Amino acid sequence: MQGNQQEQENRQVYQELEIGACAYLILKSGGDAALESTDYLTRLDAYTFHEGFAHLLSYQATEIDCVDWHTPQLTEVAAASRAKLRLALTETDPDRQKQFLEEAVCGSYYEKFACMCGMLYLADRWETQGIDGLQSAFADYHGFAQRALSIRI
């Protein structure tokens, strides 16, 4: 009986996340101004936020509580993505900033460092705080890239 109750609770949480995904799509389809901002750090925050949520919700077409977020591959991805995001956050050269913004969300799946940092940061929040952790993260994208450096995966 207890296993069935846990399964029902997990389904309810996933349905809430699907609602969040719909909210994400609505935000994105509205052309969130932050994604078009001329301010480099604002765009990096927005990319890490938006794409992190998108990748979290679609990762391997699997419910997030069924993913092993601590595989050797994801641990390597987290380390490499953190390192690149740290560099991106301190970059001041406009040409390098433009390159970082492109690499943040374009390229091979696991090399899109902003997407991966955002996704893994959110997965960590999910594991440690559940839906409340995701809801609080969803509340504000400002400073999100810097917060995403705190991945514990």
To 10 degrees, what angle do helices 113-138 and 2-29 make?
Answer: 110
**What whole-number distance in Å separates Cα of residue 144 and Cα of residue 121?**
10
Task: Kindly state the average pLDDT of the residues 81-91.
Answer: 97
pLDDT top residue among 15 and 137: 137
pTM for the structure as a whole: 0.80
Structure-block tokens of residue 113? 């460092």
pLDDT top residue among 92 and 11: 92
Residue 85 near residue 117, CB atoms below 8 Å? yes
Kindly report which listed range (49-53, 89-93, 103-107) carries the lowest average pLDDT score.
Answer: 49-53
Average pLDDT taken over every residue of the chain = 84
1 CB neighbour count, 10 Å cutoff: 5
Q: What percentage of the chain carries pLDDT values higher than 90?
A: 55
**What whole-number distance in Å separates Cα of residue 127 and Cα of residue 122?**
9
List pLDDT tens digits, range 5-38.
766 666 666 555 555 555 555 455 444 666 677 8
Q: What is the pLDDT of residue 63?
A: 85
Q: What is the pLDDT of residue 13?
A: 60
Burial bucket for residue 14 (CB in 10 Å: 0-12, 13-18, 19+): middle
List pLDDT tens digits, range 43-76.
999 999 989 988 998 899 888 888 999 999 999 9
